[in-house]
Each structure stands twice: as C-alpha cells, then as structure tokens.
C-alpha cells in the first residue's frame, strides 16, 4: 500500500529541490569565467624542432656570435658585441613578412643538401660597418636605404667571414659548407623555401657602440633533416666546449712562445768583508764555493730550476744542462 506523505515532509522535499536552483547562477558565472580563459589553439603551428634541438642550435649560434663579435672588433676597431636573442621556427611566409624594405639579404647555398639559406643584415648595420671600414665613426642613427654596389663590395669580406664563422660553429654538429650565391634587397625575391615550409630563424643583436642593430639567419628545416635527426644536446655541448678550450689553449701557447724569460747561469758565489772589497784590484783572484769540476746553478725567472756544466759552444760561453732542480721545484 503506497505511503502518504505528510505536508511537513512535502515541504522538506520541495525546499531540498529549490535550494540548488538558487546556486545555479553562481555555477553559470564560473562556467562563463572558465570559458573566457580558454585559448584557441592553431594546429598549423610548426613543431618540427623539439626543445632539445632548439637548445642545441642556440648553443651552436652562441658560439658563432662570440667568434663573429671578436672578428668585428678587430675589423671595425671599435666595441662590438653580438648576442643571440631568439631561436624560433616559423613558416617562411611569416619570416618574409618580418623582413623590412629595403633590406640587405645574402643568399648562401648549403652545398651538402643543395638547399638555400640566407643571412639578413639591417641596412643600418651595413652602413655603419661601411663607415667604420672607411675610417669614419658611427655617430647618430642611420636611416635605412638601398645598399649600393660599392658598399656591397666593401662589406663583402665581412659577409664571407660571417659565413666562415657560421660554418665553423656548425662543424660541432655537422660538416656543412656554406657558399654565397647572391645579394637581394627585397625579401620577396629571396625564395629560399615554399611559403608553407617551416624555417629555423636565429635572431641576433649586434651592438656597435651605443647603437643596436638586427641580424637574422634563416635555414629551411628540410635542408637540415639529417642533421636534426642526429642532434644530441650533451654531445654537442661537450664538443663545443672542448673545441673552445683547445682554441683558447693554443692562443695562450702562441702568446707564450714569444715571451722572453731571463736565464742566468751562476758560475759561483762567495763572501768577503767590505774591507776586502775596497782593496780589490785588477788581476786579483776571487775564490768561489764551486770547484772547477762542479756544476753551476741555472736560474729561470729568478728561481733555481736547473744544474749544468760550463763550457764553450760555437765560440761562446755556454752551460750544458745536466739535471733538473727537483728539490726547489717541489718546494715551489
């Protein structure tokens, strides 16, 4: 038999049903707030390069920036620093849109893959380099304009050296050869890759004095497929560090080779009074503490390093080295 509810029980049920409805507007507000925070995702975004590969490529181009900066300091005879600001992967069409007009683009060929890449210099940077190469000083900001044939010839050596340094930095991960193909002043005429192709863009900041200028290096990723497949961050970092250390060591050794160090062979020593010193005359014989058959001390840089025997070599007084002075060396 069905149970009949009392009025009090019915009121309790109704209050339990209507109470959640009062909170519905709060739930709706939270849902709307969450909906506002949702960001649309573009599935066309390029992800050909992993984060590890990008970090490795950044290390390679930081080495390139360091070597290029050192070269520009010696070539332009002024303070120059080159820093990597970003390493990105973009569609080639997006990169072309970012190129200013006019610009200064040098197209170069990657011989191993027979693909093209480019180096972009801002016109202001080229004009400043030309001015320094001709003995001037870059005071004030330059206005961008087309680079003349004569100015292209003047900076041609710097462009060649830039590609040499870039090629040397890439040697840590791959044996690639870069050769300049042509010069372009407009990005639309470069055409190193299809518009929908993903490219690697390395942006650098070149500081000359107080002014800062833009420089970009652009590689199509299809030209680097084999290289990217073999990238190993730890291996590249170790190789790059080792090569930099070896180069630094060789540079130090070359400097030390031309450094002069005083070498003194002490034939003997003795002591006498001040009175004896005052009575010394030409022809007097001073007896030393080393016998004629004994060994003489050889001082290098003010410290006793070697022992030897005196003699004549090619008509000149000489000392034939016999042994190292290990006692003093251990004490040092």
Is residue 28 in a domain?
Answer: no
pLDDT value at residue 46: 55
The answer to whether 220 and 116 are in contact (CB under 8 A) is yes
pLDDT value at residue 64: 92
Asked if 273 and 187 sit in the same domain, the reply is: no
Asked if 125 and 250 sit in the same domain, the reply is: yes
Which of the four pLDDT bands, split at 50, 70 and 90, describes residue 234?
very low
Which of the four pLDDT bands, split at 50, 70 and 90, describes residue 160?
very high
Lowest mean pLDDT among 64-68, 96-100, 108-112, 288-292: 288-292
In this prediction the pTM is 0.57
Which of the four pLDDT bands, split at 50, 70 and 90, describes residue 21?
very low
* Section 64-76 average pLDDT: 90
CATH code where residue 312 lies: 2.30.330.10
Phi, psi of 259 (to 5 degrees): -85, 130
> Which pLDDT tens digit goes with each residue over 172-194?
888 889 999 999 988 888 888 88
**Domain range enclosing 281:** 263-331
* Section 85-93 average pLDDT: 90
In total, the chain counts a number of residues equal to 332
CATH code where residue 112 lies: 3.40.1550.10
Asked if 241 and 118 sit in the same domain, the reply is: yes
Q: Which residue has the higher pLDDT, 198 or 14?
A: 198
pLDDT value at residue 263: 84
Is residue 239 in a domain?
Answer: yes
Asked if 203 and 162 sit in the same domain, the reply is: yes
* Section 202-216 average pLDDT: 90
In eight-state DSSP terms, residue 59 is: H
Asked if 134 and 276 sit in the same domain, the reply is: no
- Most confidently predicted of 16-25, 161-170, 248-257: 161-170
Residue 233 has pLDDT above 50, yes or no: no
Element (H or E) spanning 170, and its range? helix 149-170
Asked if 240 and 293 sit in the same domain, the reply is: no
Which of the four pLDDT bands, split at 50, 70 and 90, describes residue 30?
low
Whose CA is closest to 159, among 198, 129, 204, 128? Answer: 129
Lowest mean pLDDT among 117-131, 251-265, 309-323: 251-265
pLDDT value at residue 331: 47
Is residue 39 in a domain?
Answer: no
Query: Which of 196, 223, 255 lies at the terminal end of a domain, its last residue?
Result: 255
Is residue 108 in a domain?
Answer: yes
Counted domains in the chain:
2
Is residue 232 in a domain?
Answer: yes
Query: Which of 198, 220, 255 lies at the terminal end of a domain, its last residue?
Result: 255
Asked if 240 and 102 sit in the same domain, the reply is: yes
CA distance 144 to 146: 7
Is residue 27 in a domain?
Answer: no
- Most confidently predicted of 148-157, 267-276, 279-288: 148-157
pLDDT value at residue 232: 52
Is residue 14 in a domain?
Answer: no
Query: Which of 255, 286, 303 lies at the terminal end of a domain, its last residue?
Result: 255
Asked if 218 and 274 sit in the same domain, the reply is: no
Asked if 267 and 300 sit in the same domain, the reply is: yes
Is residue 291 in a domain?
Answer: yes
What contacts 303, CB < 8 A, 6 or more positions away? 328, 332
Asked if 186 and 210 sit in the same domain, the reply is: yes
Asked if 193 and 267 sit in the same domain, the reply is: no
Asked if 109 and 194 sit in the same domain, the reply is: yes
């Amino acid at each position: 038999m069905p149970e009949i509810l009392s009025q009090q029980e019915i009121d309790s049920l109704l209050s339990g049903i209507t109470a959640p409805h009062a909170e519905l507007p709060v739930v709706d507000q939270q849902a709307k707030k969450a909906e506002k925070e949702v960001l649309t995702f573009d599935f066309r975004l390029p992800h050909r390069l992993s984060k590890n590969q990008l970090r490795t490529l950044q290390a390679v181009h930081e080495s390139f920036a360091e070597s290029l900066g050192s070269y520009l300091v010696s070539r332009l005879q002024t303070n120059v620093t080159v820093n990597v600001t970003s390493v990105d992967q973009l569609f080639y069409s997006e990169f072309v849109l970012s190129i200013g007009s006019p610009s200064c683009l040098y197209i170069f060929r990657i011989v191993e893959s027979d693909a093209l890449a480019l180096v972009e210099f801002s016109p202001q940077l080229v004009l400043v380099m030309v001015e320094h190469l001709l003995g001037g000083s870059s005071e004030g900001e330059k206005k961008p304009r087309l680079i003349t044939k004569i100015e292209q010839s003047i900076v041609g050596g710097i462009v060649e050296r830039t590609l040499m340094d870039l090629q040397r930095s890439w040697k840590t991960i791959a044996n690639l050869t870069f050769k300049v193909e042509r010069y372009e002043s407009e990005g639309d005429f470069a055409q190193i890759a299809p518009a929908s192709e993903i490219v690697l863009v390395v942006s650098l900041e070149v500081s000359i004095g107080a002014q800062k200028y833009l420089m970009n290096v652009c590689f199509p990723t299809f030209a680097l497929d084999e290289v990217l497949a073999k990238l190993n961050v730890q291996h590249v970092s170790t190789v790059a560090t080792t090569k930099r250390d070896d180069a630094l060591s060789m540079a130090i050794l070359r400097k030390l080779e031309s450094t002069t160090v005083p070498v003194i062979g002490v034939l003997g020593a003795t002591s006498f009074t001040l009175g004896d010193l005052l009575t010394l005359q030409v022809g007097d014989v001073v007896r030393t503490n080393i016998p004629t058959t004994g060994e003489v001390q050889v001082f290098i840089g003010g410290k006793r390093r070697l022992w030897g025997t005196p003699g004549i070599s090619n008509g000149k007084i000489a000392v034939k080295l016999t042994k190292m002075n290990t006692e003093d060396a251990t004490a040092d």
